Structures are given as C-alpha cells and as structure tokens.
Chains A and B, each alone.
Chain A
Amino acid sequence: MLWQPAKSGLSKTADWRGFVLMFLGVLIGGVGAIYLFVLLVDPYDVVPFSLPIDRRIVSISDRFMYPQIVRSKRFDSLVIGTSTSRLLDPQLLDRLFHSRFANLAMSSATAWEQQAMLDLFLRTVGPPKVLIVGLDSVWCDQQADRHRITFRGFPDWLYDDNPWNDYLYLFNYGTVEIAARLVGYHLGLYRERVRYDGYEVFVPPESQYDPVRAHDNIWQGVAPPPTELPPPASPAERRRLSFPALSWLDAGLARLPSTSLKILAFMPVHVAAQPAPGTPAADVEAECKARIVSIGRRHGAKVIDWRIASPLTRNDANYWDGLHYRVPIATRIAEELAAAALAGRESEDGSYVLLLR
C-alpha cells in the first residue's frame, strides 16, 4: 500500500519541482496581489497605510460601509433605526437641529445591531449633540436577544476597538468587489451609491409611483381584523412581558449626558402594518411603548409616536408599501420631529402624539 513513485529520471523530478513552484507561485502571488489591492484601496477605511484617496460609499451593504462614516468624525449627531428611518435626510436635519447629522439607520436592522452602531458612535466620537432613535417593532421583539443579527450577517470586527482583527476579514469577494467599485468611482466608471452621511433614497423615484401597485403592496397578505377579540391583557400579564432590547436602549441612553438631545420616535408605518386594535399584539405593543416612555423619562428623552392610526398612516397614497413612506412624507416627518422635539409642538392633524416632552 505504500505509495512510491516509479523510478524517474532527473528531468521528471525537475518537472515536478517546477510544477510545485508554479503552483505555490501563483497561489502566493495571487493571494498577495489581491490582498495588497484590498489593503491599498481599503473600502472600509480601516487600514492605516492605505492610499490617501477619497473614500465614497459605493456599496449598499450598510452594515459594512457605515462604520467608516462614524470613524470619520465628521458628524456630531446621528439617526439609528431601520429602513423606516432611512429617508430622513441628514442635510435637512442639519438645518432643523443646527447639527451635523449622519443617518446610520440600516435596512432591517435588529435592535442589537442598532445599539452596536450607537455604541460605536459613543466610543469613537463621544456623546452626540442629537440622537434620534427611529423606533420599530424590533425594539419590542420579545426575543430580541435571540434575533441579534439577520441573514445578512454583521461584521462585528468593524465595530470593535481592535484594529488588528480587521485584516482577517478583508480577503473575500465582497471586499474585493467593493474595492474594485471604489477604483471604478475614481475612474469615472461607477457612481457613489450612498451619500457620505448615510442618506440614500432606496425607494423608487417619485415619478414611478403607482397608487394601485402601492395599494396592493400595502394590503397584500394583511389579515382582516378578527371578529372575536380575546379579553385585554391584565396588568399582571402585561408586567410579565419581557422586551430584552429595551435594556440595551436604557443602557445606551444612560451613557449620554444631559446635554445630548435624545429623541425616541416611533416611525409611521401604515396602519395595515400595525397591530389591529384589541389584539394581543396590540396589547404587547402598548406595553412596550409604555416602557419606552418610562425609559425616556429616566433619561430626559423626548418620545414621539407616529406609529398610530392617523390621517398620515391611513392614507395609502403616502406609502410605497406597509413599511415605507414616500420621500415627501420623510420631509414632513423630519420637520415635525424638530418642531415636536425642540418646541414641544403637538400635531395639527393628529399624525403623531408627543408622549414625552
């Protein structure tokens, strides 16, 4: 069973030696060249000796691209949240709050991912001038501690303080592709995908808005309201509910000084995407909101609620689908947000409720 090569002449030995050297040469050369390319272009802006080029956000992989926005230290205020907060334009918020805003809300971000972003900001930049937390159902997820990341994965190595472990994660297609796009941007072949303050209009252009299609998107799969409702949850039952993410929110706000303006805003999803009144889900959400108000009170935060049935959320024409409002609505929300948080102004048409001034 012992394998011994057949007796071979010197030329054959030399051939095999050349074969191995060629193999190792291409392998080491290929890996080295690609790795060097990634290090020099440095699309996540984590390598100290990378080329001094203008790094734009050329990928919509927000979890990978946004840490560099924080580390740039160009911004003193931030928005965290999910896609329901992504349309808040930082340039508008800058004017309204007299700050330098980055919108770091990420598509389908879990509460844990959002608190990781806030944590990175606090460690890197320090206390923000203004913090806007765009609240969604993820903060009221009763299993938020188990739902920490999504199928997209979360590059926690970009969010820690260890600059050395980053090098272990840079040799892969995703990074090579983004590095190539960045080179393409400088060659005029590729455009910036997300503005360097995190703002991106991820919904289609307004000119393509189709009310019939939007109506279908909003109501597709929405169950009719139940005809028989269970008795409402008792106070004891409500007390037993657990919202793991709220302890993260509490801890995050506790790290902010009183000089930081803290705004907790339930974002306006369409009524079709809100729990039907009287259902157990509505009970859970009501309890969650009450606890968030309580947390906000402890930390001097403003709490504003657009996640209610209102002229805004009942009107299909304001939405692309159940979760995502249109760009003009985003402008309105930003303006109302500033008015409510800075001047304590109540909603004129009942679109929001100022739960905590």
Chain B
Amino acid sequence: MLFQSQFYVLVFLPAVASLYYAVAGSTRARQWVLIGASLVFYGWWDVRFVVLPVSQIVATWLLALAHERSGRRAPLIAGVVLNLLSLGTFKYLNFILASVQTVSGITLPRADIILPIGISFFTFQLISYLVDRMRGRAPIYPFRPFALFVLLYPHLIAGPIVRHNELVPQFSLDPRREGVWQRIGIGLVIFTVGFAKKVLLADQLGTIVDPLFADARLHALNLGEAWSAVLAFSFQLFLDFSAYTEMAIGSALIFGLLLPENFRRPYLATDIRDFWRRWHISLSNFLRDYLYIPLGGSRRGPWRYVLATVVTMGLCGLWHGAGWTFVIWGLWHGLGLATCHAWQRLGRPLPKLAGWVITMLFVLAGWVVFRAASFTVAGSILMSLVGEGGLGGALQEIKLLVAAALASALIPSAHEIVNGLKDPHPALAAAGAALAVYCLLEVGQGAPVNFIYFQF
C-alpha cells in the first residue's frame, strides 16, 4: 500500500486510527491493532512477502531469548548471520553471481527471486538490536512490542531506520495522554507536507528524469538536457524520499509515536560532512554506530579514519542497491568525506558560498552515478554536463525546477515542524486540508507512483 494512495488516506489510515484510539486503554489491544494493520499494509503488495519479515522477527527474538537464558554470544552471532543471509540471498545473490561471472567468464545460473520490499530496512533494525544485545545495551522485550518495533508500518518499507530503544518504550505510553490533539494536528500537517511534495513535485520531476536518462543510453545529451536530467533527479530523489519520511512520521504521530528525523534540508549543506548530517540521517547514524566506529572511526589515526570512512560508505552504497554503480557512488562519498575531514583539519575554512557550490557539484556528480543504468551512461552524462555532448539545449521545465529548489530549501523538516509549530491557527488547518484534497484529486488521475527508495 502506498501512503499517497486515496485508499490509504481516506480509508486505511482513518480506519486504523479509529480502531487504535477505540482500544487505546489497553496496551495489548492497541499494539495488536498496529501489528495487524502493519501486516495488511505490507501484504498489500504481495501477501507472500509477509512471511519473510515475520520469520526474521521470530527467529531474531528467539535467538535473543536463547542468549538471555544461556548467556552465550553464539545465538546472537547466529542471529546476525541469519539476517545477513536473508538480505544476501534476496538482494545480493544475483549481483554476486553476475560479478563472479564477469570476473571468471564462467556462465552461472541466476536465482529466480523477487526482492521483498523494505528488506534492507527491517533487516538493519533487527541486526542493530542483536548488536546492541552483544554490547549489553538491549533488554529482552516481550514478543509483541518487539515485533511491533520492526513491523510498525509507517517505517517498515523505507524507514526512518528506528532503534529499539527509540520506539519500544513509546508503545507503553497511552496515546490519549496530554498533547494528543497536538500530536494528531502536527501529524496531519507533516503528512500533508509529504503528500504534496510527493504528488505535486517528485512525481512531476520524474517525467523529466526518466526520458532523459533513457535517452542517455542511446546518445550523448546536450548541455541543457544533461543539466535538466541531473538537477531534476537530484530534487526528485530528495523530495520523493523526504516525502515518504514525512508521511511516515506524520502517520506515526497520529498514533502518538515519534519516529526519528531523516532529513534536515540537505541541499543547504556547505560541506560533504554537513550533507551526511542532513541526508538520510537515520541511516547515517546506523552506519556510524554499527560500522564506522567498530572499524576504528577517527580515533586510530588518519589512515584508519580514511579506511573506516571509505569502507563504511562503500557498504552504504551497496546497501542502496545490488550494483557496482551504487558501490562507486558510496566510495565517491567516502573519499569526499575523507578529503573534507582532511581539509577541515587544516583550519582554513572555505567561504560558505564556495563550500556550498563545491558540495552541491560533488553531490550532483554522485547522483549521476547513482541513477545511471551503467558506468557508460554515467560517464556520458558527466561529460555532457561539461558540454561534451554539445552546448545546445536549455533547462527543461524551469518553473518546476525552481519550485522544487524552493521546496527543498525552504520547507522545514519533519522535526522542525514538530518542534516549531506552536500556533494551531485554524487557517493553517483549513489550508492544509485543502492542499490534501488537491493532492487526493491529483493522485486519483492514475495509479500512484512508487517511491524511489522502495527498491533499496
């Protein structure tokens, strides 16, 4: 089910919220309501998909329980391996087979596997719990809240990646506690912001991006086409993914639950480290705590720092997709972070504007590799950006690009709205609802468009 579908907005969310508040007095009942709703939400794509997250949750919980009772680490290690094997099989098996085939020249069979939606997200959450158990930082939770921590549908498909200790304690809070109207009101506003960004901007930008990236497979783009493609994709990716996050945070807030922040206007970043503090924050935090720091972080000398950063970001790229273009995109950012770190240690900061321009050019170049179907196409588009494909053409859909740029720069992040919306003015409520009606009419025109990050 998609957040921006008419069915979700007009039927599913109101029905689940009504049921949830009808049984709000019982912790057990409201948790079951959310578990049931989450299974329906996930199974909406394909009911067979439900088996995978449920199996991983049950296995992870039982292994954590075995660890609790035996005191041995083996069940936890087995749990991490099991989750990685699941992810590896469903997401990376064919990629590994293709890579081995390329290197060895031996023709290998391919597995006929459908990638279950959201597998990267819920697998990471389960692994983070197991690793926290190893570190003595995670208690044994009863099965129901543990399952709900992973399954909770607002974050299940594409995050934000939530840690157990951020979410499980919230499940025991009565959603009718003081501030219930404020949470619901702000949840509605945040959801609507995401709804509008997705339907009115991100999906429209896709109509520029898709044909131009397809054309780039056939011929070199001219200067105008290349910049149109790259700028449109950069805005589309941010607006699409942050819209999903906002609809997730808004939905959860209606249930009285606060999900972590995921974006903080990343295209205002003035250096690449700043960018990663603003872009996909829940993933950055996860990688920092479970990969970068265990690899040595910045406390074991400069070379170890470079290694930890580049390896972490390379794996970050691989997490996004089973393809070498994603790995190279990750390594590109790893090198960028290491370079930025080294520059900052020199103590000669660039002017803000110069820093912003360099950062954005760096990020845009990365998005080309991220989006392109192959290195050949990526190389062709990068060359076109500097005029190799001809200096002709002009920016396409300038009004849309300007609107997207303004939305990216000016619309506050979800948590900025949570913390900053103090005045519940009725006019704002009416305007927000009118915008939601407008978006509902727009999305009714055709089948809702999937979110880009669903593929990861």
Binding site for B on A (CB under 8 A): 1-5, 7-8, 12-13, 15-20, 22-27, 30-31, 34, 153, 168-169, 171-176
Contacts and interface: CB of A to CB of B under 8 A. Distances in A.
Interface stretch (B107-115, B133-141, B178-186): B178-186
B184 to A, nearest CB: 5
Contact of A3 (B6, B258, B424, B430): B258
A58 B266 CA distance: 47
Contact of B185 (A19, A25, A27, A168): A19
A13 B432 contact: no
Given A19-B424, A171-B444, 18 more contacts: A1-B258, A7-B178, A13-B182, A16-B181, A17-B181, A18-B424, A19-B425, A19-B426, A20-B184, A22-B426, A22-B429, A24-B188, A27-B437, A31-B10, A31-B437, A34-B441, A169-B444, A173-B441
Interface centre among A19, A153, A175 (most CB of B within 10 A): A19
Contacts of B188: 20, 23-24
Nearest to B177: A4
Contacts of A175: 444
Contact of B441 (A1, A169, A176): A176
A154 B169 CA distance: 49
B428 interface: yes
B440 A171 contact: yes
Can you list the 8 inter-chain pairs with the closest CB atoms, starting with the nearest? A172-B444, A5-B179, A26-B433, A19-B424, A16-B181, A22-B429, A30-B437, A3-B258
Given A1-B166, A2-B170, A3-B418, A18 B441 contact: no
Contacts of A19: 181, 185, 424-426, 428-429
Nearest to B173: A2
Interface residues of B, number: 36
A173 B445 contact: yes
A133 to B, nearest CB: 29
A175 B440 CA distance: 13
A7 B425 CA distance: 19
Chain B contact surface mostly: helix
Contact of A27 (B183, B260, B433): B433
Nearest to B181: A16
A5 B429 contact: no
B442 interface: yes
Contact of B433 (A7, A18, A24, A174): A24
22 contacts: A2-B170, A4-B177, A5-B178, A7-B178, A8-B178, A8-B182, A16-B424, A18-B424, A22-B430, A23-B430, A23-B432, A26-B429, A26-B437, A30-B437, A31-B10, A31-B440, A34-B441, A153-B446, A169-B444, A171-B440, A173-B441, A176-B441
B442 A173 contact: yes
A12 B186 CA distance: 14
Interface of B: 6, 10, 166, 169-170, 173, 177-179, 181-185, 188, 258, 260, 418, 424-426, 428-430, 432-434, 436-437, 440-446
A300 to B, nearest CB: 41
Interface centre among A7, A18, A20, A153 (most CB of B within 10 A): A20
A176 B432 CA distance: 21
A3 B177 CA distance: 12
A175 B10 CA distance: 18
Given A5-B183, A23-B432, A171-B6, A34 B437 contact: yes
A16 B426 CA distance: 9
A323 B442 CA distance: 34
Contact of A4 (B166, B179, B432, B440): B179
B444 A173 contact: yes
Contacts of B434: 26, 30
A20 B444 contact: no
Nearest to A19: B424
A1 B430 contact: no
A37 to B, nearest CB: 12
Nearest to A172: B444
Nearest to A174: B445
Contacts of A5: 178-179, 182-183
B362 to A, nearest CB: 32
Contact of A8 (B169, B173, B179, B428): B179
B40 to A, nearest CB: 18
B414 to A, nearest CB: 11
Nearest to A5: B179
A171 B179 CA distance: 34
Given A1-B260, A2-B258, A173-B444, A23 B437 contact: no
B149 to A, nearest CB: 14
Contacts of B428: 19
A17 B6 CA distance: 25
A20 B429 contact: yes
A193 B377 CA distance: 46
Contacts of B446: 153
A1 B418 CA distance: 13
Contacts of B418: 3
A59 to B, nearest CB: 14
A16 B436 contact: no
Contacts of A8: 178-179, 182
Contacts of A22: 426, 429-430, 433
